[in-house]
Amino acid sequence: MATGSQTKETQSGALVIAVFGALLAVLIGGVGVAYGVRGINADDGGGGAAAVAAAPVTVNMSEFKFAPAPITVGVDGTITLSNIGAVAHNFVVEGHEDIKSPDIQPGKTGDISLAGLAEGSYKVFCNIAGHRAAGMEAALTVKAGAAGTGVATATTVLDPALNHDSTAIDPFALTDEQKLERANNMDEAMDERNLQFPAKTEGVGGQLLEPRIENGVKVYDLTAEVVKWEVEPGKIVNAWTYNGQVPGPKIHINVGDPIRINLTNNLPESTALHFHGISDIPNAMDGVPPITQHPIKPGETFVYEFTPQRPAVGMYHSHHNAQVQVASGMAGELLVGEMPIPAGIPTPVWKDTMNLYDAGTIGYALNGKSFPATAPYTAKMGEWFQMTYMNEGYQIHPMHLHGPRQLVTAIDGEPLASPYWEDTVNVAPGQRITVLGQADNPGAWAWHCHILNHAEGPQGMFGMVTALIISEA
């Protein structure tokens, strides 16, 4: 069993090697970028010399896919890459990493040449952390004489309601009958999905973990393991979890409680446990290899012990290959004490947390579930409630509650001297923001991320959407 007292005599050397290796990788990667790409992120679609192939194949990139998939290109062909998503993406040919684009920003395009790539079948993927794990890969066929398969334009968005490209539609060219058919098809697709809410799925995350007491110490056992997790009805993924839950079990202690967390690693790789937002703990308990400890190898257990001395709204999560482990589910909440309620506001009828995910195998989700499997919240007219947003994702999420306003009372566990009202609350990665609201208007109110392609599309609502249901007192 590894413990918090393990030595660190090799850590300085390991850190130097890691930094040097990272620098070398950047230099080598730069050579590969220069080989395969021209004009990436240029507004004119690339510019520069004429492509080898007569007609470049256009491939759209978005969260988290390439379209079309599979991709067919002629020998020595060119692919025009267009990022129609909300975050940066890139394009890499597996086994031929010298054929790689740099990161392409949203709304930008560029060409990548496949010159020198022999006929055959390949796999392409986005190597930005967590994107491939979220499904961003596709089959590529290079074939002599192939005209190539692509999409119509660099800004095309597929319209599943009518099985065609929505941006290719000229609304003025549609007959009234065609407009009605399109509307009916889209509305039916949306209704079919929306009427499932709240859909039942296997697994519930964030369950309160009760400790056992050993000599006055609160002891918690966590196991890091990969399990099958139903994100939404019928969508089952390999989730990286603590105790088989996404998010991991909730740990709530009082200020001054000594705690011990035994983390057993049943993952296929090493891991570690970091207590984000809990600043008054010993350095050796910070859980960041190779700085404060060695990685916990598969089959090992590490013991973390500390005694928080002040209130905190914290998260515990992996800090080892975190872009995969955390994004795919390995995060939970560690609450120390209670956040104070501003003077003049009654005690909330409930206090809860909303864990935000946007990558890895979990994808866009609230508390490990995607709409329509997200759980709704309820309140009666006049009641107050408290919500703490916890962002374990890659992106900022502007969280918008229809109906009641949100009173921001604490940021990162620090109570605000002057709380303020917000309609839409921006929550950055790693941030925790606590808000209060009052149920002052009856009905079912949407509660969602306001980056629209995280929450709604032609098929209806998905991802980071739930509801607040306010009933009459």
Domain check: are 393 and 248 in the same one? Answer: yes
Q: Is the pTM of this model over 0.85?
A: no
CA angle 19/21/26 to nearest 5° reads: 95
Mean per-residue pLDDT of the chain: 84
pLDDT at residue 186 in the model: 82
**d(Cα 278, Cα 86) in Å, to the nearest integer?**
32
Domain check: are 286 and 376 in the same one? Answer: yes
pLDDT at residue 55 in the model: 60
Counted domains in the chain = 3
Q: State percent of the chain over pLDDT 70.
A: 83
**Domain contains 260:** yes
**Whether residue 161 has pLDDT greater than 60:** no
Domain check: are 171 and 273 in the same one? Answer: no
CA angle 324/12/240 to nearest 5° reads: 15
Instruction: Looking at 4-106, list the stretches that DSSP marks H as alpha helix, in order from N- to C-terminal side.
Output: 11-36
Domain check: are 188 and 217 in the same one? Answer: no
pLDDT digits (tens, 9 = 90+) for 189-248: 888 888 899 999 999 999 999 999 999 999 999 999 999 999 999 999 999 999 999 999
**Domain contains 446:** yes
pLDDT digits (tens, 9 = 90+) for 51-104: 333 467 899 998 788 988 899 998 888 999 998 876 789 999 999 988 999 899
Domain check: are 401 and 282 in the same one? Answer: yes
pLDDT at residue 450 in the model: 96
**Domain contains 327:** yes
**Domain contains 6:** no
pLDDT digits (tens, 9 = 90+) for 112-160: 999 889 999 999 999 887 788 778 899 999 988 655 554 333 333 444 4
**Domain contains 341:** yes
**Domain contains 3:** no
* Boundaries of domain holding 137: 11-156
**Domain contains 204:** no
**d(Cα 76, Cα 102) in Å, to the nearest integer?**
20
Domain check: are 252 and 303 in the same one? Answer: yes
Domain check: are 400 and 458 in the same one? Answer: yes
**Whether residue 46 has pLDDT greater than 60:** no
Residue 177, exposed/middle/buried by CB under 10 A (0-12, 13-18, 19+)? Answer: exposed
Helix, strand, coil abundance in the chain, percent, nearest 5: 10, 40, 45
Out of 127, 156, 185, pick the residue that ends a domain.
156
- 38: closest CA among 119, 129, 99? 99
Domain check: are 356 and 404 in the same one? Answer: yes
**Domain contains 207:** no
pLDDT at residue 162 in the model: 41
**Mean pLDDT, to the nearest integer, of 426-453?**
95
**Whether residue 285 has pLDDT greater than 50:** yes
Q: What is the DSSP string of 364-415?
A: EEETTB-BTSSPPEEEETT-EEEEEEEE-SSS-EEEEESSS-EEEEEETTEE
Domain check: are 232 and 282 in the same one? Answer: yes
**Whether residue 317 has pLDDT greater than 80:** yes
pLDDT at residue 3 in the model: 46
Domain check: are 279 and 347 in the same one? Answer: yes
Q: State percent of the chain over pLDDT 90.
A: 63
Find the CATH number of the domain harbouring 79. Answer: 2.60.40.420
CB distance 239 to 229 below 8 Å: yes
pLDDT at residue 146 in the model: 59
Domain check: are 181 and 299 in the same one? Answer: no
Q: Enumerate the β-bridge partners of residue 318.
A: none
pLDDT band at 358 (very low <50, low <70, confident <90, very high): very high
**d(Cα 319, Cα 18) in Å, to the nearest integer?**
15
**Whether residue 29 has pLDDT greater than 60:** no
**Whether residue 464 has pLDDT greater than 70:** yes
**Mean pLDDT, to the nearest integer, of 440-459?**
91
Tell me if residue 166 falls in helix, strand or coil.
helix
Lowest-confidence pick of 253-262, 323-332, 449-458: 449-458
Domain check: are 307 and 341 in the same one? Answer: yes
**Whether residue 33 has pLDDT greater than 70:** no
